[in-house]
Structure 1
Amino acid sequence: MKPKKQETSACDDLFRLRLEQILDQRHALYRLAGEIDWNTVETRFGGLYAEEGRPGIPIRLMVGLHYLKHTFNESDETVVARWVENPYWQHFCGEEYFRHTLPIDPSQMTRFRHRIGEAGCEFMLGLTVRTGLATQAVSLASLAVVNVDTTVQDKAIAFPTDARLYHKARSALVRMAKGMGIELRQSYRRLSKAALTKHGRYAHARQMQ
């Protein structure tokens, strides 16, 4: 079922103070919570829920937890645990009063990511960029160049097995001999290539002997 919005109560609780009354309104997270267009987020992801059934978790809470997770480099488990300890995090996720219990089970973070898919994650990233431009925290000039970290990118690098190193060493020796004018009786070029191929097939079949 579609999640209910986190509605604020019309009257104050006589025994509790609102988070906005005890927090520093100059804090970065407090100010950021008022700049993000949460209505757009709820409109975008609200259609992914069924009309009937048990009410879902508030969308702002789920999206806010994911923002906090990536901002502070937390895991699903730790971001939920730290949320209970941090009133600024709770205000950022739309809470009105401080809560002393876990907001969700950490496994629901994974379910939410599966629900919104890759397109939903890109939408959340784009929303942060638009918010940065609106608050002038990000300039258009900084978006003209993109730095890509290729540390974990797949590269065409062959694993240096002993057989491959032997094959390269033989080729290097043949080139050196040719450069020095030494005539070799046999270069083993075809035999070495065939042996390297056969070794790869045996290794793939786990027939090491």
Structure 2
Amino acid sequence: MPVATLVYTRTTDYRHDSIPGAVRTLRALGFAVRHTEDPAEFERALDARPDAVVFLSTSGDVLTPAGRERLAAYVDGGGGFVGVHAAACTEYGWPYYGDLLAARFDRHPAYQPGRVRIADHDHPATQHLPSHWEFTDEWYDFRSDPREDPTVRLLAYADESSYEGATMGGDHPLVWCRDPATPGPGRMFYTSLGHATEAYDAPAFRAHLSGAIHWTARRGP
């Protein structure tokens, strides 16, 4: 059976033009996608216990108090959570969400080519990637370094020498995961990549997303 995936794309801040194409890509990859931007529908869909919840370039405050409670209960009950790109620009006022992701977005330089360096090839989201992956994206800086959390497994980081405008100092994480997804026992995966529609047409990035969701849902591809 395909992985049942609840994809949430609500935005109350910056909205990415890539969202429709990204949703189409997840469907094309064979996931059973339930897509919504309605907080009430999101809450009802959580009751069906999807295999994975994907926050796909969400931004700002996107959940009601009841939605926060249900998402926390889902993760605390073993559910898998995937954050893509602007998911780190989401729910700044909810401490649980910050703890779940392990870092929050700070800023980014101009959209430009750069280089991703793979730190861990033993993960389904990165096993297909070259050690140095040339990519074009918004190279996110974060308010803290997720490597400071011992539960974080670093998968890929930015080669800051390959683009202009980095401010974190030294190469910094771009992709990481947690198993379990402290504070809950489910799994958590986050990739900062995926700004432009073109990313979702690229075979390497599509495989990156597919591996991430299958891993988070504890399902093989």
Quickly name the TM-score band, shorter chain normalised.
Answer: under 0.3
State the TM-score, normalizing by the size of structure 2.
Answer: 0.20
Instruction: Indicate the structure with greater helix content.
Output: 1
Specify the structure having the higher radius of gyration (Cα). Answer: 1
Give the structure-1-normalised TM-score.
0.21
